[in-house]
């Protein structure tokens, strides 16, 4: 009997592990291509868009700043995406909302690859580019919360940080894919062909994201935490009405079943957790400032004639390698947080990011490829010590019924404050005052994150199935 029970337990554990691996790898695949789409735009904004979507007589540095400004539009849209997708993610489920976000990103990015240039349609070109970037921002604003919760709410409590790192790994993986795409196209076609039409191929390839979204819809279930919440809602309708029939969508009856105060998860999250949302945003600032300077600004700085004048592919390859270094840093830090807590490793990453900022540009300025790689890798590696545990950290800050909304708001507000104008501000600081001020900018962002994390309590060990924290 005992042997049979043990065998049964092992079978259940093996099935659970297999299911968790499927969820984790699907989240990694989806977020990798989603972030690939988002970062593809950043690389193109540094290399292609200034000449393709703005007037030829515009001074190069002005065109670069204008191009990076369109890049910022995606960040402005991200909190709105977080609000919209958070609302429905907390009401109809994590999976359905993630599917819509993935499809939206796939369509929007493919459209960028098909967009006529300024020489063809004039001012409509940058205006349409801004619209498509806004769509990208809406999609990424919803995608992060859905993918992150799909993994962390499904993971065992003692491995929540580790499995959450799979969703987080999509960001550096997206950088690798985006830079690799441009490197491959650059190696296949001439410089003239690359600037004329070759750059479009990586954008059009984003149509693959639509296929991944369909896989998620067909093959994955929603998270245990959300299904438990639906079960509670069904068994204890707030108005005292009869139990909701099994399988009936919560969305269809929520307006009648739930009091007005709780009909909007976003407003409920703001009512319950205004301080946590603000501090989560502050905790994210260092990651965002450092990340977008390391993956977008350094490419422009290194390859622009006003900067170092290095070959474009040198900077793209250096960023690609550095993003590869970031991934193991994230998994190590996330696993460490499962054993020792989230705040300590997060704080260490922020401190090291602020210090390393003053080593990054002296290393890049040498023009030596190995030292350039070390300079960027240090920045992204120390950033990974924060970004790896972040999925679990943000999940544990909020209760289930507003978790999608609360975590997304903190993340996306932090994205605006930190990442939206980071490349643009970096260009202005560099051209007006000198490259050392870009390092001070990164250090200031680190200080903001350190203060924010110190003001948050440790979340490790939190019961994420509780309705209220």
Give per-residue pLDDT as tens, 388-432.
Answer: 999 899 988 888 778 888 888 888 888 888 877 888 899 899 989
CATH for 23-222+265-455, options being 1.20.20.10, 1.20.1250.20, 3.30.470.30, 3.40.190.10: 1.20.1250.20
Burial (0-12, 13-18, 19+ Cβ within 10 Å), 129? buried
Q: Which of 56-65, 250-259, 394-403 has the lowest mean pLDDT?
A: 250-259
Q: Which of 53-57, 139-143, 153-157, 218-222 has the lowest mean pLDDT?
A: 218-222
DSSP string covering 204-270, please? Answer: HGGGHHHHHHHHHHHH-PPPHHHHHHHHHHHHS-TT--PPPPTT--HHHHHHHHS-GGGS-HHHHHH
* DSSP letter assigned to residue 458: P
The pLDDT value recorded for residue 89 is 67
How far apart, in whole angstroms, are the C-alpha atoms of residue 464 and residue 469? 8
Is the predicted pLDDT of residue 243 greater than 60, yes or no? no
pLDDT digit string, tens, across residues 214-235: 776 556 555 555 555 556 655 5
How far apart, in whole angstroms, are the C-alpha atoms of residue 101 and residue 104? 5
Choose among 353, 354, 358: nearest CA to 436: 358
Choose among 277, 265, 290, 284: nearest CA to 379: 290
Is the predicted pLDDT of residue 14 greater than 50, yes or no? yes
Dig out the tokens for 440 from the structure.
């001070």
Does the pTM of the predicted model rise above 0.85? no
Contact 52, 120 (CB under 8 A): no
Contact 381, 326 (CB under 8 A): yes
The pLDDT value recorded for residue 348 is 97
How far apart, in whole angstroms, are the C-alpha atoms of residue 101 and residue 129? 19
Contact 244, 257 (CB under 8 A): yes
Domain borders along the chain are 23-222+265-455
Angle of CA points 99, 73, 296, to nearest 5° = 95
The proportion of the chain whose per-residue pLDDT surpasses 90, expressed as a percent, equals: 27
Is the pLDDT higher at 141 or at 240? 141
**What is the helix, strand, coil percentage profile of the chain, to 5?**
85, 0, 15
- What are the contacts of 200-204 at 24+ separation with CB within 8 A? 200/113, 200/114, 201/113, 202/40, 202/113, 202/178, 203/37, 203/40, 203/44, 203/109, 203/110, 203/112, 203/113, 203/114, 204/110, 204/113, 204/114
How far apart, in whole angstroms, are the C-alpha atoms of residue 99 and residue 383? 28
Tokens 């984003």 belong to residue: 206
How far apart, in whole angstroms, are the C-alpha atoms of residue 439 and residue 424? 14
The mean pLDDT of the chain is: 80
Dig out the tokens for 418 from the structure.
């930190």
The pLDDT value recorded for residue 446 is 97
For residues 115-136, average pLDDT = 88
């Amino acid at each position: 009997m005992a042997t049979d029970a043990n065998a049964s337990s092992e079978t259940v554990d093996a099935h659970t592990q297999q299911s968790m691996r499927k969820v984790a790898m699907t989240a990694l695949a989806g977020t990798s291509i989603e972030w690939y789409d988002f970062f593809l735009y950043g690389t193109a904004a540094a290399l292609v868009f200034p000449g393709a979507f703005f007037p030829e007589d515009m001074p190069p540095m002005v065109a670069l700043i204008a191009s990076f400004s369109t890049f910022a539009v995606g960040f402005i849209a991200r909190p709105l995406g977080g609000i919209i997708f958070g609302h429905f993610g907390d009401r109809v489920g994590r999976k359905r909302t993630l599917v819509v976000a993935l499809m939206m990103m796939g369509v929007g990015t493919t459209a960028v690859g098909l967009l006529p240039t300024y020489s063809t349609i004039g001012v409509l070109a940058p205006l349409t580019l801004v619209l498509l970037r806004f769509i990208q921002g809406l999609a990424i604003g919803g995608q992060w919360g859905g993918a992150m919760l799909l993994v962390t709410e499904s993971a065992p409590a003692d491995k929540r940080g580790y499995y959450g790192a799979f969703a987080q790994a999509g960001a550096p993986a997206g950088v690798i894919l985006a830079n690799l795409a441009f490197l491959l196209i650059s190696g296949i076609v001439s410089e003239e062909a690359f600037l004329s039409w070759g750059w479009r191929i990586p954008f059009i390839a984003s149509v693959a994201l639509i296929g991944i979204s369909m896989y998620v819809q067909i093959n994955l279930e929603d998270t245990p935490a959300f299904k438990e919440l639906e079960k509670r809602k069904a068994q204890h309708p707030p108005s005292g009405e009869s139990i909701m029939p099994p399988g009936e969508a919560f969305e269809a009856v929520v307006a009648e079943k739930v009091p007005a105060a709780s009909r909007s998860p976003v407003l409920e999250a703001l009512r319950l957790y205004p301080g946590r949302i603000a501090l989560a945003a502050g905790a994210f600032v260092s990651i965002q400032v450092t990340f977008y300077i390391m993956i977008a600004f350094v490419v422009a700085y290194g390859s622009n004639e006003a900067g170092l004048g290095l070959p474009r592919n040198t900077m793209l390859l250096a960023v690609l390698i550095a993003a590869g270094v970031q991934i193991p840093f994230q998994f190590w830090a996330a696993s460490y947080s499962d054993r020792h807590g989230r705040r300590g490793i997060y704080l260490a990453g922020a401190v090291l990011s602020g210090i390393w900022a003053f080593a990054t540009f002296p290393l890049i300025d040498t023009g030596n490829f190995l030292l350039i790689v070390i300079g960027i890798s240090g920045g992204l590696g120390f950033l990974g010590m924060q970004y790896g545990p972040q999925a679990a950290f943000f999940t544990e800050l909020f209760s289930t019924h507003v978790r999608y909304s609360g975590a997304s708001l903190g993340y996306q507000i932090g994205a605006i404050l930190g990442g939206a104008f980071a490349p643009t501000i970096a260009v202005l600081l560099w051209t007006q005052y000198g490259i050392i001020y870009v390092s001070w900018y990164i250090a200031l962002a680190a200080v903001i994150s350190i203060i924010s994390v110190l003001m948050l309590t440790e979340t490790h060990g939190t019961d994420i199935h509780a309705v209220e924290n």
